[in-house]
Chains A and B, each alone.
Chain A
């Protein structure tokens, strides 16, 4: 399978993602520069973490207008799987492919630590290999992960099972003290209404192989790859 990883100026998890896709998952990883305009031949896309455009103005706000983004939006519109990790999630929000926005972390700190998330919805192309309610240990590394949306959009996300991951304690309880950044409803990851676009703040690519002593992140890549099989995109 061909997985496109979009590289923006300031992306810094692009090679980690490429490593997981090629070395761990045995698929073809294609690093695609943000100035490119074609995604031809790609089976799925990853928008990696980092600090695109130095986080100037707002996280993701400038990257969202990179030339490749038109093709990304078109790809998502045709049903292609798009995974946004950390800064990639922020870019998807700014692009309007996911709803809501990111605020500065409640404690104003850049938080770099392992946290727990509960798989709230295991019926998405990115979580098929997880059990519903499963607790994953994943690392976060961000200053702007305080997800916010207005009450109406939040109730839509809840009603449509678009909340995919919630910050929780070790036992899977999504309590306030297990919320690292102040995000509304303990949201760590959401999907779009169609289900083919997922954004999450934690970094699954940093915990997807034995040598890192944590393979929880691997489940997300395994899910995504297994969901691609047999999937055809809508015509251009």
Chain B
């Protein structure tokens, strides 16, 4: 089983990296870009288990280590590998 985990800054948290990327895209002529937010993407291989316990495991690891919930939100998708 595979989990794709997305960690993003919470709404309203200043994202200087996203802003710098946005500025650079504008400089390159991509004027349609209105906002850029940067985050992290992790791929985690899990041993086979029930979907529900996989979800509980992923949530726990995000809350404990992968995301800092003071400033970050997380989302995940599960795939059979």
Contacts and interface: CB of A to CB of B under 8 A. Distances in A.
Interface of A: 57-58, 61-62, 65, 94, 99-101, 103-108, 146, 148-150, 182
B64 to A, nearest CB: 8
Given A61-B65, A103-B71, 6 more contacts: A57-B66, A58-B68, A61-B68, A101-B68, A103-B16, A182-B14
A148 B71 CA distance: 8
6 contacts: A65-B65, A99-B70, A105-B16, A108-B17, A146-B16, A148-B14
Interface string B39-72: 0100000000000000000000000011010110
Given A103-B13, A104-B17, A108-B16, A150 B70 contact: yes
B16 A104 contact: yes
Q: Is the interface of A mostly helix, strand, loop or mixed?
A: loop
B9 to A, nearest CB: 8
Given A103-B14, A106-B16, A148 B68 contact: no
Q: Is the interface of B mostly helix, strand, loop or mixed?
A: mixed
Interface residues of B, number: 11
A62 B66 CA distance: 9
Interface of B: 13-14, 16-17, 20, 40, 65-66, 68, 70-71
Contacts of B40: 57
A104 B65 CA distance: 18
Contact of A106 (B13, B14, B66): B14
B11 to A, nearest CB: 12
B13 A57 contact: no
A101 B14 contact: no
Contacts of B16: 103-108, 146, 182
Contacts of A94: 68
Contacts of A104: 16-17
Given A103-B14, A104-B17, A105-B16, A148 B70 contact: yes
A204 B4 CA distance: 42
Nearest to A60: B68
Contacts of B65: 57, 61-62, 65
